[in-house]
């Protein structure tokens, strides 16, 4: 059984696999029908798995905490909140489960003809890999690139999402933040960047990551200069979404940085009918509350630890007042 099986051997393996997995025959029954030993049938089934003739896919239903989701939705003044109860596993596994929940949510709500906007981040990267087909949906990147990790860049998120969704994508091959407004303005005039910017006002659903500044869990913060970080910290910045900086109270500050950024503006983000934040890890609880107070998001997909922190452990904060708009 070493090496690649011949075409005839592959046909035999497929026959045995169909009888076993689809026909629900026992190994003994297959052996008697084909004139082979039961042990030979067992070895053939093993080989069918090894060479990829048989693949096994486990459909593991996501454990959604319905009551906790409703409490979090009401507490943050959102249209919808989805809380995934993930027990055990590392941070990567947690992100994967939250990403899967976000992908399923998009499949439920996004309609043909929509323009889907996306930012970037590790959870959004995982989400883009599990997105189902969304016929008639086009995708646009909402920010330039921050950092040097290509795997988690917005270009890669949009590329993977476009492949899975099956629709066109508009990427922005430019940095998220530059040294001065003149350079940013020149980049925005580039035809490819300008085309993406023209789509911003057509975005009907956006999926965004939330960057935390206290504690620091933000790719954008990492690529900013120490002087810029200090300036924004002194103004009370605790979170950011797509280069929009927000205080604990939900006030947007540092608007002058927008002139140096290649990204959708706060005003444009607020006009999008549905903005879904996808965030995992309790470290981002404070940041999620801030962007909800700022009215930058309408929906949230997250995990139980972040939800519990928001509802129970974050200085016993009162419910978010206002939000984006009544639902």
Same domain flag for 208 and 263: yes
Q: Please state whether the peptide bond connecting residue 123 to the residue before it is cis, i.e. omega within 30 degrees of 0.
A: no
Which candidate, 199, 193, 205, 122, places its Cα nearest to that of 156? Answer: 122
What pLDDT shows up at residue 7?
A: 86
Same domain flag for 186 and 45: no
What pLDDT shows up at residue 146?
A: 83
Same domain flag for 170 and 290: yes
Same domain flag for 104 and 32: no
Examine residue 285 and state whether it is found in any structural domain, yes or no.
yes
Which candidate, 292, 129, 289, 121, places its Cα nearest to that of 208? Answer: 121
Rounded to an integer, what distance in angstroms lies between the CA atom of residue 279 and that of residue 46? 40
Examine residue 305 and state whether it is found in any structural domain, yes or no.
yes
Determine the distance from the C-alpha atom of residue 28 to the mean position of all C-alpha atoms in its chain, rounded to a whole number: 47
What pLDDT shows up at residue 287?
A: 97
pLDDT along the chain (327 residues), means of 10: 75 92 89 94 93 76 88 95 81 87 93 94 88 88 82 83 87 93 95 95 97 94 94 96 95 92 96 96 94 97 94 69 55
What pLDDT shows up at residue 156?
A: 87
Same domain flag for 29 and 161: no
Examine residue 36 and state whether it is found in any structural domain, yes or no.
yes
Count of domains for the chain: 2
Q: Which residues of 149-179 are buried (b: 16+ CB within 10 A; e: fewer)?
A: eeebbbbbbbbbbbebbebebbbbebbbbbe
The enclosing domain of 34 has a CATH number of 1.10.10.10
Same domain flag for 39 and 178: no
Cβ atoms within 10 A of the Cβ of 206, count?
27
Read off the pTM. Answer: 0.79
Same domain flag for 154 and 192: yes
Q: Which domain holds residue 17?
A: 7-50
The enclosing domain of 95 has a CATH number of 3.40.50.1360
Tokens of 88: 């055990």
What pLDDT shows up at residue 1?
A: 45
């Amino acid at each position: 059984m070493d090496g690649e099986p011949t075409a005839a051997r592959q046909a035999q393996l497929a026959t045995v696999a169909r009888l076993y997995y689809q026909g629900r025959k026992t190994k003994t029954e297959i052996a008697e029908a084909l004139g082979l030993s039961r042990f030979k049938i067992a070895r053939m089934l093993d080989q069918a798995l090894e060479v990829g003739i048989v693949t096994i896919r486990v459909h593991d239903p996501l454990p959604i905490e319905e009551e906790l989701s409703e409490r979090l939705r009401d507490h943050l003044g959102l249209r919808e909140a989805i809380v995934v109860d993930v027990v055990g596993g590392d941070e990567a596994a947690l992100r994967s489960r939250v990403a899967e929940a976000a992908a399923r949510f998009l499949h439920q709500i996004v309609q043909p003809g929509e323009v889907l906007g996306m930012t970037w981040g590790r959870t959004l990267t995982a989400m883009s890999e599990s997105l189902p087909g969304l016929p008639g949906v086009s995708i646009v990147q909402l920010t330039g690139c921050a950092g040097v990790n290509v795997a988690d860049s917005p270009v890669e998120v949009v590329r993977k999402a476009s492949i899975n969704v099956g629709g066109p994508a508009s990427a922005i091959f430019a940095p998220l933040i530059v040294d001065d407004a003149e350079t940013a303005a020149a980049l925005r005039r580039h035809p490819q960047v300008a085309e993406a910017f023209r789509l911003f006002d057509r975005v009907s659903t956006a999926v965004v990551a939330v960057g935390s500044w206290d504690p620091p869990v933000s790719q954008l913060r990492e690529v900013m200069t120490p002087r810029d970080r200090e300036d924004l910290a002194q103004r009370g910045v605790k979170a950011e979404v797509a280069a929009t900086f927000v205080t604990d109270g939900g006030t947007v500050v540092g608007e002058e940085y927008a002139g140096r950024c290649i990204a959708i503006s706060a005003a444009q983000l607020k006009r999008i009918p549905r903005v879904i934040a996808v965030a995992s890890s309790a470290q981002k609880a404070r940041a999620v509350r801030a962007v909800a107070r700022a009215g930058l998001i309408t929906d949230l997909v997250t995990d139980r630890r972040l939800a519990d922190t928001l509802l129970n452990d974050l200085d016993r904060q009162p419910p978010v007042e206002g939000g984006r708009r009544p639902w």
